[in-house]
Structure 1
């Protein structure tokens, strides 16, 4: 497995979509049972990832978004973070992907940006989450779905306390290019990622493609490193027939144009999220595999 940082600003790469949609279609209660599945039903999780692997995803993302102790406490698993991390990486490793990313999602704890104590408590949550992965073999930490700039700051500070490898960071933004839960711009978010040691900066959005491309161009003003864009599928509905502002990524075919335009804007890493299925991943791969990053 080559080091992923050797490919930065070179090859176009696609991250696996979250496996939640596949599991939900099988009747799994995602909010309640996501973490338990990795421990109790690893074969079901492996089968979901196998579909992403067959679709061509070069980077498989671990099923560990809720690995911080604050999140695990809601399902009474706060003492099992290391066990969860090991199980998730084991599933990915069995599929022999080109790269594995260890995902860590937000704590959802309140953060008082003016309080050193509050920042430290949140920072330590992320540091502990990285420690849970121990010496497990993975290519990068993936800080995903960050909901505010203080969250980005705490997450990166925590990770960099204990890990010196590549770190992906992504915030959720709206159609105006602002962090979805705050009145903070994509430029501010990406600048903060750079300041606190992100290797790859990115965002996720459910906004139409033109808005996503515009956000990429704004990010490029303050960041010349690798960029990640995640397009959130609100509903997989091929019968819709045409992209709308409410549901721009209504079928996998739309991702072909999306991948082409985002590559043209200088994006390297692509991912479909939300209600995306492996077909969305396959479309992104079909439109980007074999290409180099434009502007590299």
Structure 2
């Protein structure tokens, strides 16, 4: 290339071959996983320089700096947050030493969100993008390459920050989970249009998808006039071969793919995860001597799924609990799934609770982090027997893939009422070595369940049908600062919660306080009451179980009981008094069955129904 020209001017007349993967290539060269690869710019500059040289010698004339994760948040995981500027400046220097005047050096900036749940502080992200971009530009990068952004909104935020900093070319690359659509739901045509309006010079795709799916995405999209198009696909999908993670696509396949990408008007062509200097050499040889082709947009640019109309499901045969509670007394009874394979006792108790007047049986999701039978399976059996299930979903046991799969399964089974809870940590349960997942918080999961109701999957992919989940949230009133607990509850309501179920309460004054504190939230509140089985049960709950407090007078009443049977009777008597107090304030009552003693909550359910009938008779 001789004396290096401006990148934008160069792309007007030439195809440009980019480099390939950095991290996966370093791993193939023996660099262990778990290190901060960006820090190698300081600790092993010779290694990073050699990677750049390998790609340059393979034919790459667009070298990306080793700075994909060189932002303050990512570096803080390694205690390196104070070295943002040093690492980014060193990375530009290393790439420039290899590029000379023969290749362009692009300062690479990756997504900070990096695939996590899309919730972040915009001001913090602005500061981090500005810090990294400033270091790269001051070190002499020829362009800024924003890469591997799953969400258009985050990419636009980065562009908004960086565009005013420089007149150097700004290229914005999205990473798609599904062909033709960003994770946050934007068709690629819309995404490219908005990026053009934000002031970028080039748009494109990288990572996640291989050449074939990149091509399919580009074939469906409209690229605004005046934008350069780039593509840095992965070497196919990641898989396990002979016990090792590997990418499948060969250099020969990339040779052919480079020519097909050129036909789509792509002018900057490189590789992402799994690609090596051999892949880049194959593309460089295929494109040698060829000129760029003009972009020809498709006449029908609707991405797959864009024209799908959402099927409308028939209404429920019975009203949901949120509808029932607005028009009359509604009782939900919690009855835990068994810890054994025998379900006869459970089903017998559930049937008796239904006969006693329970509107729904709610099934915990491995409560107290103890392995129990699947509440999905038992919920389906109850549904088949005319008993309405309400299943709990914890954030603890499933990653996001499992959570969406679980919810889709519930929907297929006709189970559409759920309670989202955080879940007790696994270390307190019967398998303390099990992992606690917690991919998302209860706020996030509520929001994502309601996203299914909009016909959008967790990944942003449109669904052919909307769900109609009724989503409950948990509320713990047993805290030092009730106002803080209510603010937390308000956030759950903002996230989309349709109703609230409280932790069990053991004194009338707390019942009144909860009513006063929550009456403004605008959704039904089910007041939790769990009958105590005796004095030792009360001692355990009060002193060892988080979120439960028991009044001293209740403790004294149970302490005077002479045996277990008398203790259970007194426990029901105490619960009956609490029910009477709660009925003055709440239309919804949530009874929690202790230790499979369904007769206790059945008695309380009958008490509620009989009391309401007596009051109705007096009113008539």
Query: Could you state the TM-score of these two structures normalised by the residue count of structure 1?
Result: 0.87
Contact 1:235–1:275 (8 Å) recurs in 2:
no
In the alignment, which residue of structure 1 is the partner of 2:111?
106
Residues 92-131 of structure 1 correspond to what in structure 2 (within 5 A)?
92-95=95-98, 96=100, 97-108=102-113, 118-131=121-134
| Secondary structure in 2 matching 1:183 | coil
- Runs of 5+ unmatched residues, structure 2: 296-620
Task: Return 120-129 or 147-156, whichever deviates more.
Answer: 120-129
Partners of 1:195 and 1:107 in 2: how far apart?
A: 22
Residue 206 to residue 135, structure 1, CA distance change in 2 (3 Å): closer
**Contact (CA 8 Å) 1:190, 1:223: kept in 2 or not?**
no
- Contact 1:231/1:271 (<8 A) preserved: yes
**Corresponding residue number in structure 1 for 2:93:** 90
Larger RCO (alpha carbons 8 Å, 6+ apart): 1
Change (3 A) 1:176 1:23: closer
8 Å Cα contact 2:17-2:61 kept in structure 1: yes
Question: Hey, what does 2:214 align to over in structure 1?
Answer: 212
Between 212-221 and 129-138, report the one with greater CA deviation.
Answer: 212-221
Show the counterpart of 1:68. 71
Alpha-carbon contact 2:207-2:272 (below 8 Å) kept: no
Shift of 1:209: 4.1
Q: Alpha carbons of 1:248 and 1:223: their partners in 2 closer, same or farther (altered >3 Å)?
A: farther
Q: Name 2:512's counterpart in structure 1.
A: none
- Whether the 8 Å CA contact 2:177–2:208 is kept in 1: the answer is yes
The residue aligned with 1:292 is 291
In structure 2, C-alpha distance between the alignment counterparts of 1:261 and 1:147, rounded to whole Å: 24
CA contact (8 A) 1:13 1:270 kept: yes
Q: Does 1:37 align with 2:50?
A: no
Aligned in 2, Cα 1:110/1:174: closer, same or farther, shift over 3 Å?
A: closer
Once the 2 structures are TM-superposed, how far is the Cα of residue 277 of structure 1 from its aligned partner? 0.9
Q: How far off its partner does 1:56 sit?
A: 0.6
Matches within 5 A, 1:1-296: 1-95=4-98, 96=100, 97-108=102-113, 118-179=121-182, 181-207=183-209, 209-234=211-236, 250-295=249-294
CA-CA distance at 1:208 after TM superposition: 5.5
Instruction: Summarize deviations over 1:190-219 as a string: whole Å, max 9, x none.
Output: 112111111110012554644322322333
Deviations 1:217-251 (A, max 9, x none): 333354542100111114699x9xxxxxxx99620
Give distance in 2, aligned partners of 1:51 and 1:41. Answer: 16
Residues 15 and 31 of structure 1, relative CA distance in 2, 3 Å threshold: farther
Which residue is equivalent to 1:242?
none
Q: Secondary structure at the match of 1:17?
A: coil
Q: Secondary structure at the match of 1:272?
A: coil
TM-score scaled by length of structure 2 = 0.43
Deviation (angstroms), 1:271: 1.2
2:81 aligned counterpart, secondary structure: coil
**In structure 2, do the counterparts of structure 1 residues 122 and 3 end up closer, same or farther at CA, with 3 Å as the change threshold?**
same
- Tell me how far apart the structure 2 counterparts of residues 18 and 100 of structure 1 sit (CA, whole Å): 15
Pair 1:266–1:134, CA change in 2 (3 A) = closer
Distance 1:189 1:31, change over 3 A: farther
Measure the CA separation in 1 of the matches of 2:24 and 2:210: 21
Q: How big is the shift at 1:141?
A: 0.4
| Equivalent-residue separation in structure 1 for 2:33 and 2:159 (angstroms) | 27
Distance 1:57 1:196, change over 3 A: same
CA distance, structure 1, for counterparts of residue 57 and residue 155 of structure 2: 33
> What SS is found at the alignment partner of 1:145?
strand
RMSD of aligned residue pairs (Cα, Å): 2.4
| Structure 1: stretches of 5+ with no match in the other structure | 240-246
Separation (CA, whole Å) in 2 of partners of 1:65 and 1:282: 23
Structure 1: how far apart are the matches of 2:18 and 2:34?
22
The aligned residue for residue 505 of structure 2 is none
